[in-house]
Structures are given as C-alpha cells and as structure tokens.
C-alpha cells in the first residue's frame, strides 16, 4: 500500500507551501510554474527556506572561501620555496604593507597560515561539505518535503554567511581599521583588543596566551577579535543546522524508511550532526572564556606572564585548559569533516560499482564507533604539553582503537570494488581517490598516536603531511565526488565528464605531490609554522639543502594543483548554465532523490511521498534482470530483502 500523506500534514515553514495546492486523488502536481508567480527573487534565491536552495547557497559560499584559502596557501608556499626572493605575486596580493618589495613579512606569514587553516577546516569542509550535502540530501534521500524547520535552516545559512564575511574581512585589517573603516575605539580601556594589524596569527588552534595578549603578535588585536566573533557566529550556525538535521532524520523519514534502510550518506550526516551538537558548544565556551581574558581581565588561561616588559597580574589560569577545551571539539571536528565525505563516497562507490556496499551494517557500526571514540581521544594532540603520562597512555589506547573501525571501512570499500562492474564516472574516481588518501594519511596517524613517537615528530611537517592527506585531501575528494555526482540533482544539468577526468588526474597527482614529500621534510625535523628555515644555516646546512629541494617540489605541485582547479571552476559554472539537461536518474541509482523531478519543486515530490520497500543497495541483485532496483520498488514474491 502506498502511503499518502496529504500536504497539509507537513509542517512546512510559512511561505514555503504557498504554491502547493492540495492534490486531488490521482492528480499529479507539477506546480512549479505556479511557484514562480508566488515567489519573488528575494524569497527564492536569497532568503529561501527551501533545503535545496540552501544547500546550493552553502556550496557557493564554501567554494568562494575554499578558493580564498587555497590562494593563501599558494602565497605562503611561495615564501617557503623561495624565501627572501622578490615575488611579484606576493606584492600583487599583499601590497606594500605585507609584502614590501615583494618580500613577505614574518607576521603575515603566520596570518596567512592561520586563516588558511581556519577557512579550510571550518568554512570549506564543515560549513561547505556538511552544510551543502546534509541540506541537499537529507530530505531527498529520506523522502521528506523539506527540513524540519525551513526557517532555522535559512538562519543557519545566513549565520554561516555572516561569519564567512567577518573571517574574510579580517584579512584586510590595518591598524584597527577594516577596509579603511575604523573599528577601534580609542577611548576603550582595552588596549589592543580593538587595534593591531592583520588577521589572527596564532595558528588555527589559537592557543592562548599568544591569542590572548595583543602585545605578543600584531594579529592578536582586532584580527583575533574578528576571529573570535566570526567563529562564535559560525558555531551558532553549525548548531542550528545540526539540530535541524538530527530532528529531520529522526522524524521525517517517509513510510518504510527505517533507520536500517537509510543510505550511508544519511547515517554519516546524522552522526556528524550529533558530533557537532555535542562538541561545538565546548569550543564556544572556550572562545567565550578567551574573550573574557582579552576583554574583561579574567585569568582563565593566563598565569604569571610578562610580555615584553609588561608584567601582568594574572595568576592561577592555565593555557592548557584552553587546549583541552579546544581539542574536545578539535578532534571530533576532523570527523565532522571526514564522515560526510566517507558517507558520500559510500553511496558513489556502491552506485558505480553496480554492487551493494559491502557490510552495510558494519559500515553503520564503524561510523558510530568512530563517532563515539572521537570524543575520547583529544589528548593525542597534547602529549607533550606536560600532561600526566598515565593520562597520555589512556589517550594512546583510545586513539589507536579508532584505527580499527577505520580499517574496517577501508576493507569494506575494497570488497565493494571487488568483482564489481565499475563505471568510472568522475565522482567514482574521486571516491576511489578518497579511499587512497584515507589509507595513506591514516597509516601515519598510527605513528602520531603513539605518544612515545609523537615526542620526536609533534608539530613538524610530518603532522602537516598526515592531516592534509587524511583530512584535507580525503574530505576535499569526498566533496568533489559529491559535487560531480549530485550536480544533476542540484542544477538539473550534467557536468562535463571529460573535464572531470582531467580535473581528477591533475588534482590527485598535484595533491599527492604537495603532501607526500612533506613527510620527509618533517622527518628531517622541520618544525611547522616557520616563516623560513634560515636557522638551519647555523647548524646543519645539509639538512637545509635537502629541505629546500623538497620545498620547491612541494610548492611547484601546489601551484600545479591550484591551477588545475580552474578546470573544475570552468566546468562547474559553465555546466550550471550551459550543461546538457540531466535525465531524471543519470547514474541509475536506487535512492529516493532520483525519483524527484529534475526541475526543483517545493515539497520535492509533486504527488504523494514515495514509500520505501527495501534497502538502498539493490544493485545487480540476482533474480532481477535490471541491474538496479529503486528503493520504492516493492519486494517481489518470495524475494529476500538482502
């Protein structure tokens, strides 16, 4: 029996269901023409409550922020490969203030690194990845008309937008002014908090006291104030979004869509949202305490400090407290970034292998295990802060435990490919690339998790290599896979496949070329966040020569992969407007989103909501002559579910 849920049963936010009229029995409502009349530009494209539009808004903002962050990395990579050489690129982008005579200033190096890291992690891969695809896919794959609250969803995007704007603006801070507008109030008795130049410069982890004391580095003035305000708003956005995702997954599944019939994408988004709601508030409190230390003279993180010749009276605080709070978010954060990517690629891999994902239940189990364990491993970032060695041992143990569900996931992916009938779409290639980077970056994690070994390589380029491969590349590849695969769903058109191939090959070669050699830089003992390695001249010229060779290789590949993204951008924007029209189900996939019309309509399905009869992975099922069976297809007589 089909479930028919009349429209008014749906708690759609006001304004969204205006265009829908109650369907008469048997009537198919294709109503978007009607919509156009009712909606104006602002409510359709700007303050939209529609989850598909909001997903696209997240994607566009994130693409922009991602490009900014990538550009920043190119700028500081130029500095690393050719230190002290005049660079016209640097003076073009940074001007006389930050790159007089084409030579980067040391403070700004740290500013670039900090903003690069912050934007990549939070704005591209948290806001961008989970924001885009949770929004797009949760209602579509669950058979819901929209998110539980369209209004909150809109709010989530606009908070994200505002925080992106603030973070971006902070790049332009000059002596207490942004874009020439004076922010600093000279009558304030908070010296430094409202002045200073440049963006935050304390690393993306903004450890106090460096981030708390405007006297210690020029970016810890207004730049840090911007950072903190921006992140506060970002966290609000993320919390609102996550709550909405959780509620939607729990309450708005269509008939027959049991939890164990949900595609793995949804499972990943669901667990991600839970991680976000549990961990972001902790970062929020860390940030608020830091704001207090900066503005209200409290001593949460400060004790016994003299900056320059300034003796502070703060006593009794602990900088380490901040680190505990930060990493309580910080570690789950890497899974907030990673799980959606893994979820997307599970779906892409199953579809394009024309096979069920191997070990569906084990995959769900490992997502949940990873999610749970990610809360009790944060200490592995703090092995050498002088924490109690016993506590360190506990964190070694819990961290290495995470390797088990991660290994299970990898083996399950491999088995899914095994004896498949692979269709190498660009999305599929990126998903395969993701599995490769997840392996390559994951194995070095085993070394970093071993506290005894971490002593020798903590904070070196080995770490930079590790997290870029396992988190940066994997998540970005997951995101690309998602974009290529669901582009037809988002824009009703196809992207160009061959450009996709070129993009993939250049990107994977470039990205491995950037991050793989960094292991060797790190093993040579090179600390990260160094403006240049000239100190090596005083003690080991040989190591310096080797490092400079490697740095040139890395930077060249970085420029190479950055240039390769132009192909993607071209393909993306060109296809939005001129791509061939998408068929309804271009990848011959089983999930519900491909049962909706190509043209977007409010409420997603013009008629009744679909009813689900089977799991999402019935590809090449024996006894069936088609190679995929939609989830809406009732089980045949005597057919086993799976």
Partner 1 sequence: MEKIIILIVLVTGVIALAQLVRLYELTYKLKDRGEHDIPNRDNNLNAKLMIGFMLFLFSGFIYLVLRFGWTGRGEAASIQGVETDWLLNINFVIIIAVFFLTNFLLFFFSFKYVRKPGVKAKYYSHNNKLEMIWTIVPAVVLAVIIILGLKSWSELTADASKKAEKIELFAYQFAWVARYAGEDNTLGKFDYKLTTGNNELALMTGSTIDSSVQEMGKSIEAVEQKLKLINFDYLSSEYRSLISSSDYKSDVDELVTEISSSEFNLVGAEEQLKQLYGRYTGGGDHIKITLNEPNDETKSIIGDLEKDLSTKERLYRSLVQMKQNHNPSQDKYTLNDIIQKDTLYLCKGREYDFSFRAKDVIHSAYFPHFRAQMNVVPGMPTSFKFTPILTTQEMRASKNNDEFNYVIMCNKICGGAHYKMKMIVVVYPEAEYDDWMALKRKATFKDQYFPNEETEMIAAK
Q: Rounded distance, CA 14 to CA 390, Å?
A: 56
Q: Pick one of 240, 349, 514, 524: the residue that binds ligand HEM (CB under 6 A).
A: 514
Taking contact as CB under 6 A, which single stretch among the options 193-201, 248-256, 437-445, 467-475 is the one that binds ligand HEM?
A: 467-475
Work out the number of other CB atoms within 10 angstroms of the CB of residue 134: 31
Q: Which is nearer to partner 1, 37 or 640 (CB)?
A: 640
Angle at CA of residue 223, ends 168 and 325, nearest 5°: 95
Check residue 191 for interaction with partner 1 (CB under 8 A).
Answer: yes
Q: Which residue do the tokens 């502070």 mark?
A: 312
Phi, psi of 463 (to 5 degrees): -65, -40
Report which of 364, 436, 376 is spatially closest to residue 401, judged by C-alpha positions. 376
> Measured from the CB of residue 421, what is the shortest distance to Cu ion in angstroms?
38
> Measured from the CB of residue 330, what is the shortest distance to Cu ion in angstroms?
6
Taking contact as CB under 6 A, which single stretch among the options 221-229, 418-426, 465-473, 491-499 is the one that binds ligand HEM?
A: 465-473
Would you call 181 helix, strand, or coil by DSSP? Answer: strand
Q: Pick one of 16, 73, 164, 211: the residue that binds ligand HEM (CB under 6 A).
A: 73
Q: Rounded distance, CA 489 to CA 369, Å?
A: 31
Check residue 464 for interaction with ligand HEM (CB under 6 A).
Answer: yes
Check residue 633 for interaction with partner 1 (CB under 8 A).
Answer: no
> Measured from the CB of residue 471, what is the shortest distance to ligand HEM in angstroms?
5
Check residue 354 for interaction with partner 1 (CB under 8 A).
Answer: yes
Side by side, which strands form the sheet with 173-174? Answer: 173-174, 177-178, 181-182
Q: Tell which positions 318-377 bind Cu ion, by CB under 5 A.
A: 331
Taking contact as CB under 8 A, which single stretch among the options 56-64, 277-285, 476-484, 516-524 is the one that binds partner 1?
A: 516-524
Phi, psi of 3 (to 5 degrees): -90, 130
Q: By CB neighbour count within 10 A (0-12 exposed, 13-18 middle, 19+ buried), where does 180 fall?
A: exposed
With CB cut-offs between 5 and 8 Å by kind, which of Cu ion, partner 1, ligand HEM, none does residue 368 bind?
A: none
With CB cut-offs between 5 and 8 Å by kind, which of partner 1, Cu ion, ligand HEM, none does residue 331 bind?
A: Cu ion
Check residue 392 for interaction with partner 1 (CB under 8 A).
Answer: yes
Kindly give, in sequence order, each residue whose CB lies less than 8 Å from that of residue 56, ignoring residues fewer than 6 positions away: 132, 136, 490, 491
Beta bridge partners of 178: 173, 181
Q: Which is nearer to partner 1, 152 or 417 (CB)?
A: 417
Q: Tell which positions 518-547 bind ligand HEM, by CB under 6 A.
A: 528-530
Report which of 335, 151, 164 is spatially closest to residue 233, judged by C-alpha positions. 164
Phi, psi of 180 (to 5 degrees): 80, -5
With CB cut-offs between 5 and 8 Å by kind, which of partner 1, Cu ion, ligand HEM, none does residue 120 bind?
A: ligand HEM
Q: Pick one of 29, 59, 63, 121: the residue that binds ligand HEM (CB under 6 A).
A: 121
Q: Which residue do the tokens 């089983």 mark?
A: 590
Check residue 559 for interaction with ligand HEM (CB under 6 A).
Answer: no
Q: Which residue do the tokens 């400090």 mark?
A: 305
Q: Which residue do the tokens 């809109």 mark?
A: 154
Q: Rounded distance, CA 251 to CA 270, Å?
A: 12
Q: Pick one of 4, 36, 288, 418: the residue that binds partner 1 (CB under 8 A).
A: 418
Q: Tell which positions 521-560 bind partner 1, by CB under 8 A.
A: 521, 523-525, 527, 529-535, 538-543, 546-547, 549-550, 552-553, 556-557, 559-560
> Measured from the CB of residue 514, what is the shortest distance to ligand HEM in angstroms?
5
Report which of 159, 165, 166 is spatially closest to residue 244, judged by C-alpha positions. 159
Q: Rounded distance, CA 272 to CA 340, Å?
A: 7
Token pair of 529 as six digits? 């966040």
Check residue 203 for interaction with partner 1 (CB under 8 A).
Answer: yes
Check residue 496 for interaction with ligand HEM (CB under 6 A).
Answer: no
Token pair of 90 as six digits? 């640097």
Would you call 121 helix, strand, or coil by DSSP? Answer: helix
> Measured from the CB of residue 446, what is the shortest distance to partner 1 in angstroms?
6
Report which of 149, 182, 256, 127 is spatially closest to residue 614, judged by C-alpha positions. 256
Q: Rounded distance, CA 556 to CA 565, Å?
A: 15
Q: Pick one of 183, 509, 576, 598: the residue that binds partner 1 (CB under 8 A).
A: 509
Q: Which is nearer to Cu ion, 77 or 331 (CB)?
A: 331
With CB cut-offs between 5 and 8 Å by kind, which of ligand HEM, Cu ion, partner 1, none does residue 317 bind?
A: partner 1
With CB cut-offs between 5 and 8 Å by kind, which of partner 1, Cu ion, ligand HEM, none does residue 470 bind?
A: none
With CB cut-offs between 5 and 8 Å by kind, which of partner 1, ligand HEM, Cu ion, none does residue 440 bind?
A: partner 1
With CB cut-offs between 5 and 8 Å by kind, which of Cu ion, partner 1, ligand HEM, none does residue 514 bind?
A: ligand HEM
> Measured from the CB of residue 473, what is the shortest distance to Cu ion in angstroms?
17
What kind and span of H or E run contains 72?
A: helix 51-81
Distance of CA 577 to the CA centre of its chain: 26
Taking contact as CB under 8 A, which single stretch among the options 88-96, 167-175, 195-203, 266-274 is the one that binds partner 1?
A: 195-203
The answer to whether residues 353 and 416 touch, using CB atoms and an 8 Å cutoff, is yes
Taking contact as CB under 6 A, which single stretch among the options 9-17, 53-61, 110-118, 292-300 is the one that binds ligand HEM?
A: 110-118
The binding site for Cu ion (CB under 5 A) comprises 331
The binding site for ligand HEM (CB under 6 A) comprises 70, 73, 77, 113-114, 116-117, 120-121, 125, 203-204, 464, 468, 471-472, 476, 514, 528-530, 558, 561-562
């Amino acid at each position: 029996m089909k479930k028919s849920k009349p429209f008014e049963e749906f708690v759609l936010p006001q304004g969204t269901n205006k265009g829908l009229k109650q369907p008469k029995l048997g009537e198919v409502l294709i109503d978007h023409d009607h919509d156009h009349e009712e909606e104006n530009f602002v409510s359709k494209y700007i303050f939209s409550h529609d989850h598909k539009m909001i997903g696209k808004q997240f994607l566009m903002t994130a693409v922009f922020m991602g490009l900014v962050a990538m550009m920043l990395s190119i700028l500081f990579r130029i500095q690393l490969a050719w230190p002290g050489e005049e660079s016209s690129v640097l003076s073009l982008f940074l001007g006389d203030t930050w790159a007089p005579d084409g030579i980067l200033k040391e403070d700004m190096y740290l500013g670039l690194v900090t903003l690069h890291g912050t934007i990549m992690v939070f704005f591209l891969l948290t806001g961008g990845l989970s924001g885009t695809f949770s929004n797009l896919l949760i209602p579509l794959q669950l058979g819901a008309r929209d998110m539980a609250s369209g209004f909150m969803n809109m709010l989530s995007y606009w908070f994200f937008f505002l925080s992106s704007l603030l973070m971006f603006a902070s790049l332009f801070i000059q002596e207490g002014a942004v874009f020439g507008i004076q922010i600093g109030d000279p009558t304030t008795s908070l010296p430094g908090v409202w002045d200073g130049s440049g963006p935050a410069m304390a690393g993306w982890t903004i450890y106090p006291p460096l981030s708390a004391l405007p006297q210690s580095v020029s970016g810890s003035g207004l730049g840090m104030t911007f950072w903190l305000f921006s992140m506060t708003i970002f966290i609000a956005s993320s919390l609102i979004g996550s709550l909405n995702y959780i509620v939607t997954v729990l309450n708005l599944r269509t008939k027959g869509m049991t939890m164990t019939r949900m595609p793995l994408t949804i499972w990943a988004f669901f667990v991600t949202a839970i991680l976000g709601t549990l961990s972001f508030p902790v970062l929020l409190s860390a940030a608020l305490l830091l704001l207090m230390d900066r503005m209200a003279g409290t001593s949460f993180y400060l004790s016994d400090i003299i900056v320059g010749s300034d003796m502070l009276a703060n006593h009794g605080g602990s900088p380490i407290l901040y680190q505990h709070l930060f990493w309580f978010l910080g570690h789950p954060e890497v899974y907030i970034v990673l799980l959606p990517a893994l979820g997307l690629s599970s779906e892409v891999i199953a579809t394009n292998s024309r096979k069920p994902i191997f070990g569906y239940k084990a995959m769900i189990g490992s997502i949940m295990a990873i999610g749970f364990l990610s809360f009790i491993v944060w200490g592995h970032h703090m092995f050498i802060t002088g924490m109690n060695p016993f506590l360190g041992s506990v964190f070694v143990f819990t961290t290495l435990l995470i390797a088990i569900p991660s290994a299970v996931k990898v083996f399950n992916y491999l088995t899914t490919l095994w004896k498949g009938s692979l269709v190498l779409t660009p999305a599929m290639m990126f998903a395969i690339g993701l599995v490769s980077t997840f392996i390559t970056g994951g194995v070095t994690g085993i070394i970093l998790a071993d506290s005894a070994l971490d002593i020798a390589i903590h904070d070196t380029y080995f770490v930079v290599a590790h997290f870029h491969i396992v988190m940066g590349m994997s998540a970005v590849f997951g995101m690309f896979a998602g974009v290529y695969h669901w582009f037809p769903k988002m824009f009703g058109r196809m992207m160009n496949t061959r450009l996709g191939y070129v993009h993939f090959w250049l990107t994977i070669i470039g990205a491995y070329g950037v991050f793989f050699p960094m292991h060797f830089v790190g093993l040579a003992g090179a600390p990260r966040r160094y403006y240049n390695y000239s100190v090596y001249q005083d003690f080991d010229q040989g190591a310096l020569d080797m490092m400079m060779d490697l740095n040139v290789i890395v930077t060249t590949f970085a420029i190479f992969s950055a240039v390769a993204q132009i192909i993607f951008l071209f393909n993306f924007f060109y296809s939005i407007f001129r791509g061939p029209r998408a068929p309804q189900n271009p990848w011959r996939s089983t999930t519900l989103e491909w049962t909706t019309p190509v043209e977007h309509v409010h409420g997603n399905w013009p008629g009744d909501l679909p009813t689900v009869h089977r799991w999402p992975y019935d590809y090449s099922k024996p006894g069936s002559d088609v190679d995929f069976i939609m989830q809406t297809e009732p089980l045949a007589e005597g057919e086993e579910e799976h």
